[in-house]
A and B are shown apart, each in its own frame.
Chain A
Amino acid sequence: MSISESDVRHVASLSRVGLDSARLPLVVAELNGILGHMDALQRVDVSSNANEDATRPMMLADDVVGAVQLMRSREDMAPAMRDGFFVVPRLATHAAPEGNPAARAVDAEAP
């Protein structure tokens, strides 16, 4: 099996990594070099574990949700705060309400 330029472009888009078209041939060659070694796995006889579950159960503790002690306050992590809320930029799809001075004030504070 080998990977083509269009495969790499598709995979880069799926993984949201911008890839310079100048670098593309090199990346394709490197990935094919690596995948060539992976083909050895096709020759391994795995029939002896056909009866086992797909994933061998891993020892796991109960997943208990607990509070994590923060070393910094919430306020410290927020770009801006107002009345105990995070102030964030308005989404492009949400127009600012006309003639609402409070909304304009929040917009002005947003980072």
Chain B
Amino acid sequence: MSDEHVRTPADRLLDRGVAAIVEGVASGACSALAMVECTLNRMVSRDVGRDGLNAVLYVDQEGAHTEASLFDARDAARADAPLAGVPILVKDNIATHRLATSCGSRILEGYVSPYEATAVGLLRAAGAIVVGKTNMDEFAMGSSTENSAYGPTKHPLDRTRVPGGSSGGSAAAVAAGVTPVALGSETGGSVRQPAAFCGVVGIKPTYGRVSRFGLVAYASSLDHIGVFGARVDDAARVLAVIGQADAHDATSVHFPPVDDARAGQEEPHPRGTQPLKGIVIGRPEEYFPASLDPRIRALCDASLERLREQGAEIRTVRMPNTESAIPVYYIIAPAEASSNLARYDGVRFGQRRPGAGVQGMYEATRAAGFGPEVTRRILLGTYVLSAGYYDAYYRRAQAVRRLIARDFTDVFASGVHALFTPTTPTTAFRLGAVSDPYEMYLSDIFTVTANLAGVPAMSQPIGRIEGLPVGGQLIASHGDEATMLRIARALEFSLGVEAHR
């Protein structure tokens, strides 16, 4: 890349990830201000702005400078801040002060929240510096970031392709090396799917681990805040900071610690040792259908072989209700969205448009403010909840959702610690290539199940096909991010550079 000829210490730390930055800033070898400067320079040189990749919508240059200078002045804070001087980007549907929170939508254009999300507050308290907000599918509805009112984000490795979605801006920015970590959100795979497409790590924690206070609601029984990282350790360290129970979100509860972040500092396991001895990893048949791209299947099986070499037992398991997941998701999520998005009416929230009478004003405001996918899901959600159809669609979907959740309970009760699957059925597709709404929904076919069941899941790079990254997915039981991350670290170490070749 063009900026490589002026490699400052901050540049080197930025490439080495969160642990290196924290160590460098805590020891005084590099200032938080230098980290921020370096990040802002990279935003320009790696062209992630509105007229480039369109991954970053808003940049808080002044605020980031001020915060970094204040942080540098506090000697006492530097020494034990778990994210000292770490620059971070935040998805546009997570409330931040100073910066707009527009959810990739026209209706919230320029909206600045009067309060800040708990997760963002925890990041700042840990020493992280929020540098900007990232592009997304409008209200997180999409799998390609093409549904953003502010234009599509482009894939950093091939600008004719999508980065995935809905957190495509965060994934693309981390893949471009602008920040080592970013916040995203997930309702059906919106962190893991773009992480897989862009070749970075994406974690969706257990439902309830990270407070959603300040996350703009889409489908509340499925919404999560998730984390992107250039490597497993980067994402795990951020998750450890934001994964705390919060009185402002009643669905946020205490869970065992995410992961001892120190695990990343240990000496890597020497070749030949078996760090995963005693771990049972399930390979669910339903996630490897006959129609799966044989190259994706081969990469997944090569990863499973690596896990076996490290002592894990690989067991074939069945998750019989997997095929119902997409229909269930696209009933429940739009139903919840139709209710959550009622607040954007030009009175409580949203840019008002004139119309005949109050109903006319509402209709004009919402017609002008929402894009076609959001409109489609609001209509679908209102329909499946309406009298005469509620039992056939919504109640039925809730019943099948329980069967899907039970598939997970049963498989984890049978002695399996985690599941390994492909994250997506394809690699990143071309901009505009998928025009049928249902076909787009199918890109989440392997990820929505974890949202429906509330279990933690993550994607990590396991190789490439024709230069495009492929993601492998790990899914663990409720609250057991520790085991999931232990397996992920072992796989990442074992694959090494192969994960990106």
Indicate whether A37 sits within 8 Å of B115 (C-beta atoms), given known contacts A46-B396, A62-B250.
no
Q: Which of A41-80 contact B (CB under 8 A)?
A: 41-42, 44, 46, 48-49, 52, 54-56, 58-64, 66, 68-72, 76-77
- In the complex, A61→B208 CA distance in Å? 10
Q: Please, which residue of chain B has its CB at the minimum distance from the CB of A23?
A: B372
Chain A min CB distance to B142 (Å): 14
Is A16 in contact with B386, judged by CB distance below 8 angstroms?
no
Q: How far is the CB of A43 from chain B (nearest CB, A)?
A: 9
Contacting pair A17 B437 (CB below 8 A): no
A56 pairs with B402, CB closer than 8 A: yes
Name B324's contact: one of A7, A18, A40 (CB within 8 Å): A40
Q: Is A27 an interface residue (CB 8 A)?
A: yes
On A, residues with C-beta under 8 Å from B are 1, 3, 7-8, 11-20, 27, 30-31, 33-35, 37-38, 40-42, 44, 46, 48-49, 52, 54-56, 58-64, 66, 68-72, 76-77
CA distance A16 to B355 in the complex (A): 12
Would you call A37 and B362 a contact (CB within 8 A)?
Answer: no
- Main DSSP-derived SS at the A contact region: loop
A49 to B401, CA, bound (A): 11
CB contacts (< 8 Å) of A13 on chain B: these are 359, 363
Proximity string of chain B (377-410) to chain A, C-beta cutoff 8 Å, 1 when within and 0 when not = 0111111101001001101111110110110000
At the interface, yes or no: B251 with Cβ under 8 Å from chain A? yes
Q: Chain B at the A interface: mostly helix, strand, loop or mixed? A: helix
Asked if residues A46 and B403 are in contact (CB atoms below 8 Å), the reply is yes
Contact indicator A41/B438 (Cβ below 8 Å): no
* A61-B245, A71-B115 known; A41 vs B400 contact (CB < 8 Å): yes
What is the CA–CA distance of A41 and B441 in the complex, to the nearest angstrom?
16
Indicate if the CB atoms of B383 and A41 lie closer than 8 Å. no
Contacts A17-B367, A59-B208, A72-B112 given; does A11 touch B403 at CB 8 Å: no
**Which of A11, A54, A72 interacts with B382 by CB under 8 Å?**
A11
| Best-surrounded residue of B330, B380, B403 (most CB of chain A within 10 A) | B380
Looking at the complex, which one of B253, B364, B406, B436 makes contact with A49 (CB distance below 8 Å)? B406
Contact A19 B367 (CB under 8 A): yes
The reply to whether A31 and B247 form a contact with Cβ atoms under 8 Å apart is no
A14 to B386, CA, bound (A): 9
Known: A8-B379, A58-B221. 12 other contacts (CB 8 A): A7-B383, A15-B381, A17-B370, A18-B355, A18-B367, A44-B321, A49-B402, A54-B398, A61-B245, A61-B250, A68-B248, A72-B112
